A and B are shown apart, each in its own frame.
Chain A
Amino acid sequence: MTAAPRRGSALRRLWTSEDARRGFACVVGGLVLAVMTGPEGSSTAPTSGFTGSLFHARVIGFIVFGLVLWGLITVRRRYATQVRAFSDKVTAAPRRLLPDKRVRAVVYLAVLAFAIAYPATLNSFWQEVLVDQIGVYVLLAIGLNVVVGYAGLLDLGYIAFFAIGAYSAAYWTGALPIHPPFHLNPFYAIPLAIIAAMLAGVVLGAPTLRLRGDYLAIVTLGFGEIIQIVATNLQGVTGGAQGVIGIPHFSIHLLGIHYDWGINSLPYYYLLLGFVVLVLFGFHFLENSRVGRAWVAIREDEVAAESSGINVLKYKVMAFAIGASTSGFAGMLEASKISFVEPADLTVQLSILILVLVIFGGMGSLPGAVVGAAVLQWLPQYLRVHPLLGFQQQDIYIYLGALLVVMMIFRPEGIIPSRRRKREIGLAEHGVGHADALSGQSGPVA
């Protein structure tokens, strides 16, 4: 007499089956997406947002989306080899060509030509976006990429250097309550802003970079907060909460060159573009130099690096200072363009945003930082003009937060990963090394 199979076991098998769990996760993800893009609730009707998103016809679309996603993932796993073969075939040509230096040079030149020509054809809204939302943030991402990507240091207060650049602009043009020894047009104050930011990097870094990675993150976070509070409170120095107005635009009257920047965004864009191109060259050479390799060594194994003659603290501070420099320039540029600075803009949230840009693009990858920042900054603006699915500007951090979690789980190396970083992460997942300067105690052990 055979025993009847227990009904519980079938259910249990379903629950523990990996496919079913993935399906469940996908559908839940779809529902979360529905809530994210759904209507708002309010304090008097706290469930209205949820009911509006979920008890509504549109939720079916999201459930379907979840199921389709599940289907795609399952198919990809089942037919992994065929999928790999197909993608190899499709990417064969680019993969063969790209490593070639000449091919890359041509590609970069084409991109540069596009970057020079295209913006002139845009309307003024998009030109403004190009500078204020995209260009500045690309520069910030490139700088933070040096700190987080090259040296592996988590700085959560990066916006502080931007603030220093901006307030430098205010200071040297005499817009602050405290006056400089002589007034300068902000254009000539650019190097001063950069130096100020770098000095701040050294001053902040020297005492704190001895700390372990997670502690460093918190300290930089606290420091970012402090900077904002100080800027708000020190009425007599920074103009207080209402900020500083009346910062003049750039202008050059030197050696026969006469140019005044006005409120038109395009000239700022070209100035920014020029600086970005210079920085890209410089940082690319830096990455492949003795300094860049020292950073890699520190990231891989700080103890071994130190024992091999690398002054770990010096290189960490150097990364901080170099990373700060682009931020200082960006701050100076923005302050001069919009003619004012206010502390309320210098939030920790912005520091986190820049971090998201770097991570999304690919930590340690220069093209990644540029593309990641450009894409993530462009997208919300695009959706504002062409609304999709109920996206709201004020909800942007919901999406960014979710993006961070998803990226860390599925693609921690970013969209355009640096080869080395990808290798490090792959090794870490197999138990070799830790892929970053955060792990392990700094004890010598064996």
Chain B
Amino acid sequence: MSQVSAPGPSPAPGEDAGGDEGDVVISVDAVTLRFGGLTSLSAVSLSQRRGQILAVIGPNGAGKTSLFNCLTGVYTPQEGSITFLDRSGKSTSIVGRKPHRVNRAGIARTFQTSRLFNALTAFENVKIGVESRMHTGPLGAMLRLPRTRREDRASDARATELLDFVGLRNRANDIASALPYGDRRRLEIARALGTAPEVLLLDEPAAGTNPSEKAELAALIRKVNSQMGVSVLLIEHDMGLVMALADRIVVLNFGQVIASGTPAAVQQDPAVVEAYLGAADPDEPGA
């Protein structure tokens, strides 16, 4: 009688959740973030491997978005370091960098509540992302130099490509604010992809979506990961989505990593169960 082998114990908190697919692309080392008297992140360490989809989960207030904000240079942690290793082998320290420079290094993100440029069309939103990598300056723009026009055509083409990729081709000229909710999410991903990142940080991409939109988003995320080779770091509450997508999971609670490892391992980790459901009361019947 064969049995599905039980998963081994998950690595202790603090150990990297990485498997052995590719080298480490983001390495977070003992990061501590404090706001006045409140400690948002406490000695958090994790690493993400290239090509991996890593999910960060945890109860509300666990520090997930704060972690993202540290990863993108919005917050500067008081302690610890964050290192990004790009494809060419160049290593960049994220701590202390301004967000636009973090983006240039190769990390893009979406936000928990879609932050689109609402009065612009979907196409313009993506084009702005793509253009951030180009070089036209004010002089070139005012004089309409050949290079400027070339870059413009190239960014037009790339924006169209990306809209196609996320499935918004027929909505290219719609004003962003008029898009249905699921499409707004996809548009934000398209814009982020426009900045040619190696790592994409998705902050609750499926929040507020209905089941069919959720499934489409999952497919899109997988497509981004497999077809574009972009490593994905994902905050999510929807466990179904997490289990379906993630190669590895890191669990945060009260600003600390309490578990990390494969989805199956983490699911069974007692610390994780306790964090989500509370410890069983020994006096309760059936405990």
Bound-state CA distance A202–B107 (Å) is: 30
Partner of A285, one of B109, B129, B144, B203: B144
Please state if B177 and A432 are interface contacts (CB–CB under 8 Å). Answer: yes
Which residues of B from 18 to 76 have beta carbons under 8 Å from A?
65, 69, 72, 74-75
Please state if A286 and B141 are interface contacts (CB–CB under 8 Å). Answer: yes
Bound-state CA distance A420–B175 (Å) is: 10
B124 proximity list for chain A (CB < 8 A): 293
A285 proximity list for chain B (CB < 8 A): 141-144
Closest residue of chain A to B102 (Cβ to Cβ) is: A307
Q: Which of B4-12, B130-138, B166-174 contacts A (4 or more CB under 8 A)?
A: B130-138
Q: With A282-B142, A310-B100, A444-B69 known to touch, is A420 a contact of B133 (CB < 8 Å)?
A: no
Please state if B136 and A293 are interface contacts (CB–CB under 8 Å). Answer: no
Classify chain A's interface size. Answer: 35 or more
Q: Is A49 an interface residue (CB 8 A)?
A: no
Chain B positions 113 through 134: 1 when the CB is less than 8 Å from some CB of chain A, otherwise 0: 1011111100010011101111
Partner of B131, one of A294, A435, A445: A294
Please state if B127 and A446 are interface contacts (CB–CB under 8 Å). Answer: no
Please state if A283 and B142 are interface contacts (CB–CB under 8 Å). Answer: yes
Bound-state CA distance A377–B117 (Å) is: 35
Q: With A286-B142, A290-B136 known to touch, is A306 a contact of B117 (CB < 8 Å)?
A: no
A-B contact count (CB 8 A): 124
Please state if A306 and B98 are interface contacts (CB–CB under 8 Å). Answer: yes
Closest residue of chain A to B69 (Cβ to Cβ) is: A444
Closest residue of chain B to A425 (Cβ to Cβ) is: B119
Closest residue of chain A to B137 (Cβ to Cβ) is: A291
Chain B positions 183 through 198: 1 when the CB is less than 8 Å from some CB of chain A, otherwise 0: 0000000011011000
Q: What is the total number of residues of chain B having a CB less than 8 Å from a CB of chain A? A: 49
Q: With A290-B134, A293-B124, A300-B118 known to touch, is A423 a contact of B175 (CB < 8 Å)?
A: yes
Which residues of A from 402 to 436 have beta carbons under 8 Å from B?
420, 423-424, 427, 432-433, 435
Please state if B98 and A318 are interface contacts (CB–CB under 8 Å). Answer: no
B192 proximity list for chain A (CB < 8 A): 308
B256 proximity list for chain A (CB < 8 A): none
Please state if B151 and A290 are interface contacts (CB–CB under 8 Å). Answer: yes
Bound-state CA distance A36–B141 (Å) is: 46
26 contacts between A and B (CB under 8 A): A285-B142, A289-B140, A289-B142, A291-B136, A292-B141, A294-B131, A294-B132, A296-B117, A296-B119, A296-B120, A303-B111, A304-B117, A306-B99, A308-B129, A308-B194, A309-B133, A310-B132, A311-B98, A311-B101, A318-B138, A420-B119, A432-B118, A444-B69, A444-B74, A444-B75, A446-B203
| Residues of chain A at the chain B interface (Cβ within 8 Å) | 281-283, 285-286, 289-294, 296-297, 300-301, 303-312, 318, 322, 420, 423-424, 427, 432-433, 435, 444-446
